[in-house]
């Protein structure tokens, strides 16, 4: 069976601030998506269905606050210490510095500017 994850969403309150954070940490440009209604704003991460990673987007929607959730999205990195440092410099906060997870590499846990915890994963 292939990877069953087909999409992810990270809910935010301040889209401009959240976009700046993710673009700064991962050195990517998010692209506007047309939402199903006027109360929904979406900006997608770059994606390629033929390479590593599930596509996803930042979402601002009335009635769906950010933070306090129990789902952690892990972003693939060459060395998660690099993105961890960028996260701290972009207004985020390091929850757990880079740590080894045995044969599975390393992870860091950071909080974005909206209070969402995200994971960073690398093999080195």
- The conformation of residue 45, written as its DSSP 8-state character, comes to P
Find the distance separating the first CA and the last CA of the chain, reported in whole Å.
27
Distance (Å, rounded) from C-alpha 106 to C-alpha 108? 7
Looking at per-residue pLDDT, the higher value among 5 and 62 belongs to 62
pTM for the whole structure = 0.79
The strand pairing partners of 43, in sequence order, are: 32, 58
Question: What pLDDT is attached to residue 89?
Answer: 96
Domain ranges of the chain: 8-122
Q: Among candidates 97, 93, 96, 98, which has minimal Cα distance to 115?
A: 93
- The architecture in CATH of the region 8-122 reads Roll (3.10)
- Quickly list H helices, the chain: 15-26, 80-89
**What pLDDT, in 10s, does the model give residues 57-94?**
777 867 767 877 667 888 999 999 999 999 999 999 99
3-state helix, strand, coil in the chain (%, to 5): 20, 35, 45
């Amino acid at each position: 069976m292939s990877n069953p994850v087909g999409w992810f969403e990270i809910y935010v309150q301040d889209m401009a601030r959240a976009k700046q954070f993710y673009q700064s940490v991962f050195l990517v440009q998010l692209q506007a998506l047309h939402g199903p209604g006027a109360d929904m704003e979406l900006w997608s991460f770059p994606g390629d269905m033929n390479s590593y990673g599930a596509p996803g987007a930042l979402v601002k929607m009335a009635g769906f606050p950010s933070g306090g959730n129990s789902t952690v999205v892990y972003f693939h990195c060459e060395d998660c210490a690099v993105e961890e440092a960028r996260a701290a410099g972009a207004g985020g906060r390091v929850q757990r510095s880079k740590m080894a997870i045995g044969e599975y590499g390393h992870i860091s846990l950071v909080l974005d500017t909206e209070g969402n915890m995200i994971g960073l994963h690398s093999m080195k």
